[in-house]
Structure 1
């Protein structure tokens, strides 16, 4: 290293000035260029302040060069300057090399408050919260003076760690040290209390002399965090009307979310108007939240209008509206929106494609599902668990279980969601043995089931209708401590009812700690399914005594029980009381069930008149006409048979059930010519008869050890699920 002459020294000083000037305007490449010019001359730098600028340039352009700069300044002896070492430490910390920053910090002979602030920021920013808090305690022993940002980070660390007691102690330290008066620090403490104990946040908020928009936003978000959305909205109103504080985008997002969670569409529209009047609708987050509000409150038209009125849209905007359309069963509109999104030049992400798969699932559109599948491959989303699980589920809904299984087999380490999705897929496709076998395989892989997995297993056992398996599955629910949970308990009682074990269903029902309308409806349906209609009707009264209001599903379960038990008078009375007494919505299923009840009882004319009286908005379905046609066969009513046939053929032209029923009806009445005509019509239309089958499990004891590990081998072996 040589020392420069006077002329070279002047040139060197000029270059140093250039480094500082270019650094001040963030022209980092020029900073590097000037620094290299100094290095080529191999001159001894005198101005140590240059290195802080060079290290900032390294941070912006090339973190690898930073280590070289560190080595150079150490050789030149500039590591004795605290400001230089602080710059080195800041470089390492912001580069993600916290261990290197900590080594530099430990090697410092003299640390100032800047040194402590840098190392504290590094730990707290990068998520090393406990270590950062411990360092802060050490720093206080050395008389450290924290800056505002460090104080805020420490409070946020206590909030994330949910360390309420330590947070309170820190609050005391702030008061004693005189740092409490800073509004940003007060707001941080307010956020900590709001996230841990809202009551303390309310007390602190009342004590604050100066409350800005952040203070109010924290309180509004805090009330929402504890599901007190009403008070959140009242706080917003108070903030605007009494204190005249102008809200920002974050405040409006919190308020709109509160309206969404309360289902307050009218209030949400008022807030939307307020947003527009204040010019906050240009905020993307606010605009996306408005779309979400309208979609979740069922006002799709307003969501679409709000979407197209947005001055700017991002992928979240498109996905928010797409998700809302799918949620509100606007499937055709969903596909049109996706087409518009493609025309705008915006590429679909994982969320977009998963929403499209939901549409495919509902429509059973295999072709569209394959198109989405190809997009997932092309976009490199094959490793995305959400996309892959949705694909498995959608293929199963499209009755392509082999496709689902191939996708599942491609996953090296499926997680519990993937296992559950595949188990559910087998069950949905009528393959309970394969579903139970896969559950067994999952347990052998040491994967622990979650409540969703358990529900899928219970559904599979219900489909298999085998009491031994069902008891084993019930045992798993008990060992997991979920048997008394309302969703699991309801599935258990439904499973037993489908096995014909109504006493076990009732015991499972009694074990449910908090029964809801779903569990009551399930036990009523269970009694009806097992030929106990009087008990089903009695349970409806018992349900109302317990303060649970029946819904449309409950009433349908009781009507079905009356239908199969021949309780005509009870069924008619119940039908008349659906709206007036029970407050349930009258649906097409209720009409169809009552038609079946009357038809089974031989009241064919009454059944026919009831079909004709169904409101125009509820076009009679194949179930109602099929019930009438079936009764016509039993009671040999040719006139009504001929009236019902065209309706059946129009509603289900490719189903063999209606044709066979009509043919058998004519044959039973001796009209062999008409019976033959129906059979010929079946052949002309290519309608095939699907044969039924029965299955019997044999030698159960010997087969437990022979359980298949490959579900798709389709070996029907009875097994203990656990």
Structure 2
């Protein structure tokens, strides 16, 4: 029979089969080989079956060569059952028969069946050859089985010379998350070829080691091996993780040099890679070079715009895609939903409308991404609505998305309830769900539940999974948040691979729990590991230094600073920024400034923010503002955090002029609509005494929390309009905002200032109703309010109910008694305070002098003055002297009073002379009154007209 041309189609094949059926005697194994190969090329299963029947009818059904060809044809055409029937009926199957069947299973994705085929071949006593072994290795997903194969290969003598088998082993260990084992096999390959290098690069990428993949890629070329299309596809996946635009450009140039610049698969990957790296110009160039812009290409560019914050540009691309006649699919919508950095719910709502218009509103994958998106937008109501609208179509991912949404929004209790509901539905949690519930356990400090979740991780066999290794790290972090350091240690000890991330997590766990010494010990253990990948990196130092900052552990912070300097990490801008924050929180401003000055040339916005915040937090508003103006001069654009810090500094200084200028800059930068900035503006204008502008800023707030209400209440109070300030609580109630301690303290102080006893009692009752109890600061505010409103009985009740009292509590009640004419009781309280072991301070003595002055008790006042100086070693302040001047004046000792004020010399205040003027006026001592007026005027007072 004539040979069959490779370009022939199905009609020619049909004609050839008919010819074969008509010339049965001419058929031979070679004819069947050509015909069956033709069927394989065209995927012509029915024609293959006819040839099979013909072979049986011609007596070729038991020919091993023909049977192997038939197994191959059925396998390549996807008819695995037919192929297996032939294999099982063969009387003299050989290694080729089994290898063909195994390959057929593998090519059709039936990996378990492929391995079962291998084991059966072994039982049949058929010895595997290298092709069989390579095929079996390609199907293996189990580390233990992989080790068995590896051992068997060594026994059979295939190593170390067979590079194809070694390459297959590298790929196998990569798939089994055993990247170090893969590297060990790779290092043993004497003559590494392109496949060896690509397999190793792929193993690194699959296991979350993009940096090591990049090193391997450059080493391959240094070894003289040029990358191919598959290598480029693999390394671009690593680029998407490292997000290094410079490296992406270098690889792009190599693709061009290799002549693959027109390859659509690579161009699509370049679109995604440049997008991930944030290089939008290069991304657009790669997109435009595509010969055929299909849904994959458009989805890639849309995702790139989304993940870089260009949401509306992504929407424009979606519209262009429509105009080009390319129909968006679920991948398009999922990519934009998953990639976007969601902040505004309006954007999400717009996209949801677009999804519904396109007919994907009920698509499960899209709905799952919508749930995820609403979670990021903090819109749990919408997330729930989409979730429940899916009805019976909900899957594990749907549940995972909603659990994650609640966990991300600090709704840990609800997240745990949903997880339990999911359990009742019989749905198996995936890695995302487990990570979310572990986070929820951490937020709830639920150590018991977290142990159960950990058991689920082990039960699911996910402890070796690369991504779930991060979940175990999350579990470790959770135990740290629960302060269950022993459990954290156990998780760490049980981890299969301890990389730098795991060490960093354990180290941070101890540091954040205030166990600075243990953290240092772990740091040393990490050093002793000796492996380069275990060396402390910037993440290590940032986590530990931040922990030292949070716990105000300056000593440990200094040790970590010194250690960072030893390994050259103190010049790393991220580490330096953490050091500035740490020194700022520990009130070591000069050290913070020193670190800042050492990173000249590499400092970024975070560096400037850290230093400004350090000054602002420590009350050095002037240096905070000087740093801000220096930053502006260097051309660094401020962000939300910058404006919050510098506006706080303006509030501290009472510098309304600079505050207004910074407000203008914030407005120009588009930050005036940010609630956190508006809240700071309310506070700044309030503390600078400009209630009108404080209220204007308050009115622009989208979400008014208790802090904002407190700030505007304080601003209104400073204007003297106390009655309007008292309406604040009503406004909070109307907006459903729960008042906090500061709210009640502000309102109670306002009641005290305007003698509003009725309102004060209402606020007292409301605070108790909300469960605030007798917190010491709130208790002191209540004492002050009742005292100034003359309700001593209520003041006494509050004082008696306070579980803890400090000197402020005692001083407040002493002043209350004195102001209301109960001087002896005030003095008695002072003695009781002494007996209670509360050491009187300068304010305490000021309170008792005030009481003695009001009662005209000169002898008693003199005794306490002596007691303050001689027994307690306290230096009298101008306020103490002023009180004593008043006491002398009230008891008729005007000459002594004048002598005391004159003796104060430079320390004398206009107020002291006015006090003397008041006493002189009451006792009609005109000459002394004249002298007092002259001195008061010299010191700039105009209040003498009141007398």
Q: Secondary structure at the match of 2:766?
A: helix
Q: Which residue is 2:364 aligned to?
A: 102
Instruction: Give structure 2 stretches of 5+ with no counterpart.
Output: 1-6, 9-258, 275-282, 306-313, 341-354, 369-394, 409-414, 529-534
2 CA distance for matches of 1:613 and 1:250? 62
CA shift, 1:465, in A, is 0.8
Q: Deviations over 1:425-468 (max 9, x none)?
A: 22222112222245445545665544333323222221221433
Whole-Å separation in 2 of the counterparts to 1:639 and 1:259? 65
Q: CA deviation at 1:185?
A: 5.3
> CA, structure 1 residues 234+469, in 2 after alignment: closer, same or farther (shift >3 Å)?
same
Offset of residue 584 of structure 1: 6.5
Distance in 2 (CA, whole Å) between partners of 1:384 and 1:235 is 41
Question: 1:423: Cα distance to partner?
Answer: 2.7
Give the C-alpha shift of residue 363 in structure 1. 4.3
Give 1:234 deviation, angstroms: 0.8
Contact (CA 8 Å) 2:321, 2:327: kept in 1 or not?
Answer: no
Contact kept, 8 Å, 2:845 with 2:868, in 1: the verdict is yes
2:595 pairs with one of 306, 309, 315: 306
Shift in alpha-carbon separation, 1:583–1:23, aligned structure 2, 3 A: farther
Q: Does structure 2 conserve the Cα–Cα contact (< 8 Å) formed by 1:158 and 1:167?
A: yes
**Residue 577 of structure 2 contacts residue 607 of structure 2 at CA under 8 Å; is this kept in 1?**
yes
How many Å separate the matches in 1 of 2:481 and 2:929? 68
Higher Rg of the two aligned structures: 2
User: Does 1:59 find its partner at 2:59?
Assistant: no
Match of 1:189 among 469, 475, 494: 475
Deviation by residue 1:363-406 (Cα, 9 ceiling, x = unmatched): 44443343334334333333233333443444444444344445
Task: Please list the CA deviations of residues 541-571 of structure 1 after superposition, one character each: whole Å capped at 9, or x if unmatched.
Answer: 4334445444443333233323333344444
2:585 to 296, 312, 326: 296
Higher relative contact order (CA 8 A, sep 6+): 1
Gaps of 5+ in 1: 7-13, 40-50, 80-84, 107-115, 665-722
How far the C-alpha of 1:621 sits from its partner, in A, is 3.4
Give the Cα–Cα distance (whole angstroms) in 1 for the partners of residues 724 and 804 of structure 2.
33
Residue 193 of structure 1, CA deviation:
1.7
Match of residue 267, structure 2, among 22, 29, 32: 22
Whether 2:762 is the aligned partner of 1:472: answer yes
**C-alpha distance in 1 between matches for 2:617 and 2:869:** 27
Q: Which residue of the partner structure matches residue 490 of structure 1?
A: 780
After TM superposition, the structure 1 = structure 2 runs for residues 313-328 of structure 1, keeping only pairs within 5 Å, are: 313-328=603-618
* CA shift for structure 1 position 323: 3.2
Query: Which residue pairs with 1:682 in the alignment?
Result: none
Specify the alignment match of 2:909 in structure 1.
Answer: 621
Aligned-residue offset at 1:656: 1.8
Map of 1:188-227 to 2, 5 A cutoff?
188-196=474-482, 198-202=484-488, 204=490, 207-208=493-494, 214-223=501-510
Note the alpha carbon deviations across 1:140-182, whole angstroms, 9 max, x for none: 989x9x78x8976674465467665553233224445655467
1:672 is aligned to none
2:717 aligned with 1:427: yes
The residue number in structure 1 matching 2:671 is 381
Measured in 2, the distance between the counterparts of 1:94 and 1:425 equals 43
Residues 31 and 54, structure 1, Cα contact 8 Å, conserved in 2? no
Give the distance between the partners of 1:610 and 1:457, measured in 2 at CA: 40
Distance 1:21 1:221, change over 3 A: closer
Residue 471 (structure 1) shift: 2.9
**Aligned pairs (5 A) from 1:558-569:** 558-569=848-859
Q: 2:334–2:366: 8 Å Cα contact kept in structure 1?
A: no
Partner of 2:527: 244
Provide the rounded CA distance (Å) in 1 between the counterparts of 2:507 and 2:606: 24
Q: What is the 5 A alignment of 1:583-622?
A: 587-602=877-892, 619-622=907-910
Deviations 1:43-89 (A, max 9, x none): xxxxxxxx8778545533668669979x99999xxx9xxxxx9x789
Cα separation, 1, equivalents of 2:929 and 2:690: 37
Q: Kindly state the Cα deviation for residue 200 of structure 1 after the two structures are TM-superposed.
A: 5.0
Residues in 1 aligned to 2:425 and 2:730: alpha-carbon distance in whole angstroms? 55
Stretch moving more, 92-101 or 16-25: 92-101
> Taking structure 1 as reference, are residues 240 and 625 closer, same or farther at Cα in structure 2, changes over 3 Å only?
farther
Q: Distance in 1 between matches of 2:655 and 2:448?
A: 56
TM-score after normalising by structure 2:
0.54
On the 8 A contact 1:190/1:205 being kept in 2, the answer is yes
C-alpha distance in 1 between matches for 2:744 and 2:420: 43
Comparing 606-615 and 416-425, the one that deviates more: 606-615
Paired with 2:704 and 2:901, the residues of 1 have a C-alpha distance of: 51
Residues 507, 544 of structure 2: 8 Å contact kept = yes
* 8 A Cα contact 1:427 1:463, kept in partner: no
Q: CA deviation at 1:125?
A: 7.2
Alpha-carbon spacing, 1:244–1:605, altered in 2? closer, same or farther (3 Å): farther
| Contact persistence 1:263–1:297 (CA under 8 A) | yes
Cα separation, partners in 2 of 1:261 and 1:121, compared to 1, 3 Å: closer
Q: TM-score of the superposition, structure 1-length normalised?
A: 0.69
Question: Deviations 1:628-654 (Å, cap 9, x if unpaired)?
Answer: 454455667789778766653354x2x
- Pick closer, same or farther for the CA change 1:18–1:584 going to 2, 3 Å: farther
What is the CA deviation profile of residues 274-319 of structure 1, one whole-angstrom value per residue up to 9, with x for unaligned ones?
3333322234443333333333333333333332223433333333
Q: CA RMSD in A?
A: 4.9
Query: Is residue 167 from structure 1 mapped to residue 450 from structure 2 by the alignment?
Result: yes
In the other structure, the counterpart of 1:521 is: 811
Q: 1:279 to 1:575 in 2, by over 3 A?
A: farther
State the Cα deviation string for residues 601-659 of structure 1 (Å, max 9, x = none). 4556665676677798xx443334443454455667789778766653354x2x322x4
Partner of 1:244: helix, strand, or coil?
helix
Say whether the 8 Å CA contact 2:517–2:556 is kept in structure 1. no
Separation (CA, whole Å) in 2 of partners of 1:181 and 1:38 = 39
Partner of 1:339: 629
- The 3 A distance-change label for structure 1 pair 583 and 250 is farther
Match of 1:538 in 2: 828
